[in-house]
Chains A and B, each alone.
Chain A
Amino acid sequence: MAHKILLVDDDPDFTAIHKEILEKDGFIVSVIHNSVEAAEALESGKETPDLIMTDLMMEKDDSGFKFCHRVRRNAKTAKTPILMCTGVARARSLGFDIKSPEAREWIKADDFIEKPIRAETLLAKVHHLLGEPATTTNHH
């Protein structure tokens, strides 16, 4: 059965691009443009993704981090892998060294990806987080 992925990003262009890349690879993708709404949808059980991909900076600079916390506190999603979209340098400039083990523990995101995202990189990371071997994709 196809995996479900929830995209959380306030930029409609990025969600559109990432959605298309993922759908071409056979995923079922849903999109929410606000981190709080996304957290609520996950808590209410409206969204039951196998993987969550979120941006770091949305309504606020650290919306992505706050969202991750809520996701982890929610029993339904405590174990759902998260792919966070941010640059190492960008996060550092906001005061987070996302490479440090402490930060990883605190942020609770499982992997990071930096925009602009290349299709191959995105798919490789997603498959890795889902514990699957990277498939040779069926799009050209």
Chain B
Amino acid sequence: MGPTPGKIRILVADDEMSIRLGCEKILQSEGFEVVTVDNGLTALERFDEKPFDLVLLDLMMPGMNGLAVLAEIKARDSDVVVIMITGYASFETAVKAIQDGAYDYVPKPFTPGELKIVVKRALERRHLLLRNRRLQEERERTLRDLALEQSRVRSILNAMPEPLLVFNAERELVLFNPAGRVFLKNLTDLIGKNMSEAISLPNLITALDEVWPKLGRKIEAVAVEVEDPDSKQTWLLNADALSEDKGGEFAEGGTLRGAVVVLSNITPMKDLERAKSRFVSIVAHELKAPVAAIEGYLELIIGDLEEAMEKFRPKLERCRDRANLLQRLIRELLDISRIEQGRIERNLERLDPMSIVTEVAEFHQLEATKRGISITHEPPKQPVSIRADRTEVNRIFTNLVSNAIKYNKEKGSIVINCGMHGAFWRCSVTDTGIGIPRNHLINIGEEFFRVKNSQTVQISGTGLGVSIVKRLLDLNHARLMIASEEGEGSTFTVYWPTDACATTQQKS
């Protein structure tokens, strides 16, 4: 039974006609809608027809007595306010009625003023009750909506095809979706378990260990690839920091509350990448022999040119040079596809990279001298030890130094400078060449990218040299930084992690 809109309705139940008429007159004059009945049963019938805000109930009526009627009415609407009319000021019965849920009592006989006061207070009570009821209903509705909202979010997470794992700051699993189960152990109480106990794929634990320290420091999400050696699937792990505030935006220096980890299956992309690498490798191999043959024949022809044919020499030499460049391009394509396919045989050993850099510098001395370029190799102050493949280190610096010669000015200079940069071994190759236009700096290292202008058109290159350097550095967790001033020269700096690096990483 809800509150009655509009006029306030009052039911008067009394077997005395004078009381009924008196109440009706007084209350109607107050603007209330009044219904009077002379017994309990009719009172209940009227109540069932249409609810009342207030009931004035005689305790002693023929048939059903006041207390019985009170119980019935309260059962129908607990918020209805009931005032007992007590015939002979029976205090005990009045107390009993109030214990049973009546709000007040008014002893007979009563004056109009007394009735008005009692009714006024009772209606205030009614008003309060209704307001409470409304508030309670609102709260219940909000809670229901919230529960619905949560179940909606839950359904969305459950429908996600990507595995989702949420961890708290203590690296304990707090939430996962059904897709996330593929990475979890078959346990019943996964929630609250540390990630190392909950996760079944060791590579994922390693990746999370690697990603975790970065979460607190970087605003953007951290992504790494995770391979599942059993299912041969490759996943891209995206980890987002959860921060203090509810907005979820993680501010630098904020307190890490946990992390949301979403994994996307990138196996199809990897397969495509592999297919591409394989295709490139096959094509390059097929091109290799014919181009080598062309170059070989041209070499023979040029070496044996008769007097009458001398006019063709420049063209033939140009053909040979182009065939030679093509040859180099094919070789470098093969190198790249080999690195991409992980098909390079690596002999990792502890070595001093300085000695290799010195070798490379000496090897290029002749080529540089031909163009009047000096190579200065500043001797290192202390010995360095890195774990690397000798051939790879040689290849990296060969490419950098030969570029420094190729893109240098006549009579320019090259400075090779090595040293330590924190836990990294640093080696920079600085030339006094044409430099790289600022807007192209970002493209350096992309396959086949070469700055095209009047200066570079004279320089033969494949556009793969720095790309190979970058890939080889990637294999070694090393980095390349390029600084350049157009017309002044460029500096290519390699940062190579040393043994000291590994220990500090473990500590953090």
Contact = CB atoms under 8 A, between A and B. Distances in A.
B206 to A, nearest CB: 29
Contacts of B344: 89, 92
Interface residues of A, number: 19
Interface stretch (B117-125, B291-299, B414-422, B480-488): B291-299
B334 interface: yes
Nearest to A18: B296
A11 B344 CA distance: 27
Nearest to B298: A17
A130 interface: no
A20 interface: yes
B334 A17 contact: no
Secondary structure dominating the interface of A: helix
A121 B10 CA distance: 119
B303 A115 contact: no
Given A13-B297, A14-B293, A119-B299, A140 B288 contact: no
A17 B303 CA distance: 12
Nearest to A96: B345
A46 interface: no
Nearest to A140: B303
A97 interface: yes
B300 interface: yes
B304 interface: yes
Given A89-B334, A89-B338, A93-B338, A13 B303 contact: no
Interface string A1-15: 000000000010110
Given A116-B327, A118-B299, A119-B303, A17 B293 contact: yes
Contacts of A92: 344-345
A139 B304 contact: yes
A134 interface: no
B303 A139 contact: yes
Nearest to A119: B299
Interface in A1-38: 11, 13-14, 17-18, 20-21, 24
A117 interface: yes
A89 B304 CA distance: 33
B335 interface: yes
B370 interface: no
B452 interface: no
A73 to B, nearest CB: 28
Interface string B11-28: 000000000000000000
Nearest to B297: A17
Nearest to A87: B331
A97 B345 contact: yes
Contact of A140 (B292, B304, B335): B304
B440 interface: no
A93 to B, nearest CB: 6
Contact of B343 (A93, A116, A118): A93
B289 interface: yes
Contacts of B345: 92-93, 97
Contacts of A20: 300
Interface string A86-125: 0001001100010000000000000000011111000000
9 contacts: A11-B293, A14-B296, A21-B300, A24-B304, A89-B334, A89-B335, A93-B343, A93-B345, A116-B292
Interface of B: 288-293, 295-297, 299-300, 303-304, 324, 327, 334-335, 338, 343-345
Given A17-B296, A89-B334, 8 more contacts: A13-B289, A13-B297, A14-B289, A14-B293, A97-B345, A115-B288, A116-B296, A116-B324
Top 5 A-B residue pairs of the complex, sorted by shortest distance between their CB atoms = A13-B293, A17-B296, A116-B292, A92-B345, A115-B292
